[in-house]
Amino acid sequence: MNRRAVSDIVAEREQLVVSVPLAMKRRGGRKEIITPGGQAPESQSHSRTNASLALTIARAHRWRGLLEQGRYRSIRALAGELGVDNSYVARLLRLSLLAPDIVEAILEGTEPSGLSLQKLYRSPMEWERQRQMLNSPLHR
């Protein structure tokens, strides 16, 4: 809106009320506006990757690769080298067993709303059960 239009409205003491139906959803600890069509507004139409989820999944795959290559004999040896607790490494390694479509959705920023590491840590090993538990729209 240009200055003249703003000053005209103020000078005439008119009110402009704009109503837009929308919903707010929490996504990765942030609030996101969802328009009536179920999409983010055009200015936000590109997907936003949850960096924390993506980085943790990448780390899990990296650590799994190191174990499979024989660089470390055990989770304990890997954890000792990294200076972290064994249970932390074991918990992250479970993320390397997520269904490929769930990992893809996380990397593209299209994962189900409210998905967190805590939910992923508790997910079952079977891909179909993961999809069901996470109420994934990817579930077929």
In angstroms, the CA 99 to CA 77 distance is: 27
Task: Return the pLDDT at 94.
Answer: 95
Inter-axis angle of helices 86-94 and 75-82, nearest 10: 110
In angstroms, the CA 96 to CA 74 distance is: 16
In angstroms, the CA 60 to CA 96 distance is: 5
- Paired with 34 in beta bridges are 23
Q: What are the distances in angstroms from CA 114 to CA 93, 97, 132?
A: 22, 20, 15
Q: Where are the domains of the chain?
A: 47-133
Task: Return the pLDDT at 14.
Answer: 60
pLDDT in tens, the chain (140 residues): 444 433 343 344 566 555 556 677 776 666 776 766 655 544 444 457 788 899 999 999 999 999 999 999 999 999 999 999 999 999 999 999 999 999 999 988 888 878 889 999 999 999 999 999 887 555 44
Task: Return the pLDDT at 121.
Answer: 92
Task: Return the pLDDT at 62.
Answer: 94
Task: Return the pLDDT at 7.
Answer: 36
pTM: 0.63
Task: Return the pLDDT at 115.
Answer: 87
Q: What are the distances in angstroms from CA 68 to CA 43, 55, 65, 72?
A: 43, 20, 5, 8
The token duo for 122 is 């508790």
The token duo for 38 is 């179920």
DSSP state of 2: -
Host H or E run for residue 33: strand 30-34
